[in-house]
Every structure is written in C-alpha cells, then in structure tokens.
Amino acid sequence: MRNKIVHLFFYLIMVMGIQSAVYGNNFESLKRRAETGDVQAQTNLATCYFTGQDTAIDTKQAFFWNKKAADQGFAKAQYNLSLFYLEGISIPVNKKKSFYWVKKAAQQGYVEAEFRLAQHYAVGAGTAIDKKQEIYWYKKAAAKGHRDAQYNLGLYYSKGIGVAIDIDTNQAFYWMKKSAEQNTPEAQYNLAVFYLKGIGTGVDQEQAFYWTKKAAEQGFPEAEYALGVHYFEGKVTAVDQNQAFYWTKKAAEQGHAKAEYNLGVYYMHGLGAPVNKNASFYWTKKAAEQGFADAQHNLSLLYFEGIGTAVDKNKSFYWTKKAAEQEHAMAEYNLAICYLKGIGTEKDNKQLHYWVERAAKHGDRQALKLFQDLNSK
C-alpha cells in the first residue's frame, strides 16, 4: 500500500479545464472582463492561454492572469499559481512560493489545495516536513469528499505515523471504504485486502472478491493479479481457468512480476490457454528479470532443459545462482549440484558444501540427504 501522489501537471490542466467549461466565454469578451479585474474571468482567461482555447498557447500569459486573480485572493487561481511555481511553468521552480500560494488557497477551504498542501508537508516541498500538518490537511480534504485524501488517510490509519497518527483499523476501514466508493482503484484493492484480513471489519471473502474485481476492472495491476488468483483457486467464486488466465495476463502486461510468473506457468501447463512453451519462457524470463525468485528458479530449469529456448547451461547456472541468493531452497540445492558436477561453472567443493548446507537449513530434503552423505565421508 502506498501513499498516493497525483501528478501535478495533470491537476493543473484538470482544474483549469473545469473553469473553462463553466464560463466558456468568447475570448475577446473574456479578456475585457479580465482587464476590469473580474477574478473569475482572469482565471478563465489563464485557462484559455494555457490550453490554447480560442487563442495560441501562451503559458506566460496563463501565469500572468492567474497571478492577477491570485493577488486578489481568488482561491482557484492561488491553487493554480502554486502549481506553476512547483512545476516551473514559464518561471523558475520555486517550491517556497508554491507552498505559499497553495496554503493561501487551502486556508480558504479550496479542497484541491487542502490535499496538495498536505503533500507539501509530506515531502517537505517549500516547507519543513510536518506529519501532523500533513494529517491535518488530509483530514480537511477527506471530510469534503476528496477521494485521494480519504485513501491516504486510510493508509495512514492502517499503519500509523509516529506521533502524528496512531494505528486505528476502524478509521482505516472507514476512510478506505469512502475512497473506494468514489471509484479510487487503489482504495478498492486495499479495501478488498481489509475484508480479506479482517482489518477494521469482519473477514468477508465475498466483499474481498467484489472490491478486487472493481479495482481490476479499472486496470489496477495488483487487483488484476489478485482476481486471477481468485478465479484460479475458486475459494469465493467458481474456478474459471479462462478468467484466471485473462486477468493474470492483464496484470502481466502491466509488468506485475508475480502475474508474469503465473502466466508462464499457465502457458507451460495449458491452464486457460493452449500450451505454449515459447510464451512460457518469455513470461518466466520477464518475471525473473524483475528479481522474482520462483521465476529465476524456473528460468534456470528452462535453460537447462531447453524448453522454449535453446539449452544453455551457463545461463541455467546464472539464474540458479540468482534464485539461490534469495534463499530459494530448491535453487540452493541445484546450485550445489552445479558446483558438484561442474554444470555451467567449474567444480568447486567449497561452494558445494556451502550451498548444500544452506539448502538443507532451508528445508530441502534432497539437500539434507546430500549434506549428510558429504559429512559422513
């Protein structure tokens, strides 16, 4: 679970675009109103310059008119101005000025500014890191229905943040559900985890499945992977290997390492799709390259046997060692055998003893027998 940081440039376009849609005035008429000091017209004129609506894009003019309105105390313009300073749009980046203006907007109750001010305090942008102030402003925004603030509060209550906030699973569940009900995919997935583990609520696997599916349908990779597991295991819903394959593939295509590994297994054994050894090798390798130990172990076997690729004992040794270094017991045993027989490397009695002992300690039965045999000689 991670704190949600929303891209600032997107927020600037979104906020300014909303204003344009609301006012939608003829450009010359709008400009005349802005020149008379009308703050809404000034802010909307800034939108036109920023987006190129009814005029050429001119971010300097966008900044100029936002500042005009901000100087008159207009909260939306103050918020937009803070983003100009934070992103360095037509002006040098100035985090202190960004903080100054976002705080001005937040103090007027502008909800996007309240959320953004919390993030300034979270990372120390233009001010000192202050977890208490961060939580204070998240609460302000969350109470007004800001879904990302609700999500972050849910995370913080679930794990606690030193003196700023104590663990409170009931509050964690409350705010996570609030955000999930506003279609925040991260919140929907985490709410599913809360139901699955009974965090702030009773264990409810049907609700866990429901919210996992909601998040997966929005393209959240962790949820897509989890939904694939739900369909494969069939604990809450009927077993459906086709659906398991479908959702696992969706997550894998977004770079989810466990999904990539599972997809490799599905292709190897024809689960939800025809057997495809080349595809199995491809996805196993993708997961292995992300450091997933089970995939590294399987990849070593694919290279050893030449499944979906040419036999390559050197690469088999390489990936066996990668997995063994992550305390994968079977890989540790196989690595010992590599050193015993000189597979993909030179024979090395010292390394043989080292790795077979490690594998035995981690519970590999073949390693335990070999360890005992070696020490009985």
Query: pLDDT tens, 68-124?
Result: 999 999 999 999 999 999 999 999 999 999 999 999 999 999 999 999 999 999 999
Q: Which pLDDT does position 20 carry in this prediction?
A: 43
Residue 316, Cβ neighbours under 10 Å: how many?
A: 22
Q: Identify the pLDDT of residue 328.
A: 98
| Residue 46 CB-half CA count within 13 A | 31
Contacts of residue 285, Cβ cutoff 8 Å, sequence gap at least 6: 295, 299
Sign of dihedral through CA atoms 146, 149, 155, 157? negative
Location of structure tokens 């934070």: 86
- Whether the CB-CB separation of 33 and 41 falls below 8 Å is answered with yes
Residues 6+ apart with CB under 8 A from 154: 171, 172, 173, 174, 175, 176, 177, 178, 179, 187, 190
- pLDDT of 2: 55
Structural domains of the chain sorted by starting position, each given as residue range(s) with its CATH number in brackets: 1-141 (1.25.40.10)
Would you state the pLDDT for residue 6? 44
pLDDT the model gives residue 19 = 44
Instruction: Output the pLDDT for position 157.
Output: 95
- E strands, 110-246, where? none
CB atoms inside a 10 Å sphere around CB 311: 12
3-state helix, strand, coil in the chain (%, to 5): 70, 0, 30
Burial bucket for residue 229 (CB in 10 Å: 0-12, 13-18, 19+): middle
User: Which segments of the chain have a pLDDT < 50?
Assistant: 5-14, 17-25
**pLDDT of res. 294:** 98
